[in-house]
Chains A and B, each alone.
Chain A
Amino acid sequence: MIYLDNAATTRPKPPGVAEAVTAAMNAYGNCGRGVHDDALSAARTVYGVRQKLADLFNCSRADHVAFTQNSTQALNIAISGLLTAEDHVISTDLEHNSVLRPLYRLREQGMAVEFVSAGRTGSIDYGDFERLLRPNTRAVVCTHASNLTGDLVDIQQVGAFAHRHGLLFILDASQTAGVFPIDMERRHIDVVCFTGHKSLLGPQGTGGLCVREGVEVRPFAVGGTGVQSYLETQPMEYPTRLEAGTLNSHGIAGLGAALDFIEKTGMDAIRAHEMDLARRFYQAVRLLPGVTVYGDHTAPERAPVVTLNIGDVDSAEVSDELAERFGIATRPGAHCAPRLHRALGTGAQGAVRFSWSYFNTAAETDAAAEAVRVLAEEAL
């Protein structure tokens, strides 16, 4: 199988990740429960990975890195823990349901949400952020890159806007963490939500949020923490405040190994390789008769995603042909991005998403482009 569905989850993982998970499963006790060697081994690893993530995102405090199962959980915690029914929030049409549904749920309670719109090309106008501003605007919640088109959101501009107006800036880094630099300080980001299993190259079931010091996120889940056991409420110290229940220290050990790989390989080298492959594919398919490619491919940098359709053929059928006849894994359908699909006019057809990771090759990319050529020819 030529795996080009890395925006859904990266595969394979770097050498050492699975081994770290296995070693943790065989050796670790429960992080923060007990003070024997096995429990301490888990706690030390978990703390070490907090530090690595704090370094990655330039979060000033390792204890402000809280672990979750994934981005969705992190975004639920950040959005429901910072916003109220009285607030107004600005987001964008590029968002994944992991941002949209927590916002829609708060909207049912009275919160106002407005979206910077994506035109037919899927691009946003940054002037819209200013135009949507209200006296009670509390936050901007947005993705760093569309999971559908790969288009980046300029977090320098959005961060400056949020900072200028004293707004919270909650960033969904699901598609970019580990590949694109994200500096919480320079970009005025208050919360970065990330998942471990995509561009961070770690195991599924890992993720988290980095919270700027002084930003008070209300606890989401409450329960066992291993500390302050006689307190009837969730302890308010970070990261315990946001971490009820046993942590996935096995997965976090794997995430630590993945972060080591990213550091050793270099984020710039990873990004350059992935973007080269995506560009190579784009150049090969963009002018094929019947093929429509979505997103802004004139941008100097973009997430390694190319999404297309062939004529008016159902994207599910194209993706299935790619898998069954050519052994190429892609993702058709809606990609949990309903607003952007509507903007692009692909609500009914869906679209076929090709997405790369560091472990893909030029030969795989060329094979995928050739498969698209064959299918496009047959569809004419």
Chain B
Amino acid sequence: MREKTEKCVVTFRTTTGAMAMERACKSAGVPGRLIPVPRTITAGCGMCWAAPPAAREAVEELVMEQHLDVDGIYAIIL
């Protein structure tokens, strides 16, 4: 298995919420990608946005600015 590193992980309640996040991040040039939700997080939607820890601030700004429908934002080792 791949080496684990810290990630900023954003979870959602719906697939639509995840799609809105991906589109917003791509449009704003915020790095990351959609991955299956790891078992350490309880989340409604089975996909989450995983970004490098350095992108956390940019991610949080996007969520606030665009009223993205997120369930939670976590820092975890993946």
Contact = CB atoms under 8 A, between A and B. Distances in A.
Interface in B15-31: 15-20, 22-23
Given A35-B35, A35-B46, A228-B44, A235 B14 contact: yes
A63 B16 contact: yes
A126 to B, nearest CB: 37
- For the side of the interface on A, what is the size category? 20 to 34
Contact of A239 (B14, B22, B35, B46): B14
Given A227-B45, A227-B46, A50 B16 contact: yes
Contact of B15 (A43, A62, A231): A43
Given A40-B34, A44-B22, A227-B46, A32 B15 contact: yes
A223 interface: no
Max chain A C-beta neighbours (<10 A), residue from B12, B16, B20, B44: B16
Given A35-B34, A228-B13, A237-B69, A63 B46 contact: no
A28 interface: no
B51 interface: no
A40 B49 CA distance: 12
A225 B17 CA distance: 13
Interface string A141-176: 000000000000000000000000000000000000
Given A237-B14, A239-B14, A227 B44 contact: yes
A47 B20 CA distance: 8
Contacts of B47: 35
- For the side of the interface on B, what is the size category? 10 to 19
Interface string A23-65: 0000000011111000010011011001000000000001100
Contacts of A235: 13-14, 44
Contact of A226 (B17, B20, B46, B69): B46
Contacts of A40: 34
Given A47-B23, A63-B69, A227-B45, A237 B17 contact: yes
A341 B14 CA distance: 44
A33 B18 CA distance: 12
A356 to B, nearest CB: 35
Contacts of A355: none
B36 interface: yes
Contact of A228 (B19, B20, B22, B45): B45
A35 B9 CA distance: 15
A235 B23 CA distance: 23
A315 interface: no
Interface of B: 12-20, 22-23, 34-36, 44-47, 69
Given A34-B36, A43-B15, 4 more contacts: A32-B15, A43-B18, A63-B14, A240-B13
Going nearest first, the 7 A-B pairs with the smallest beta carbon separation are: A47-B19, A32-B15, A228-B44, A227-B45, A35-B47, A63-B16, A240-B14
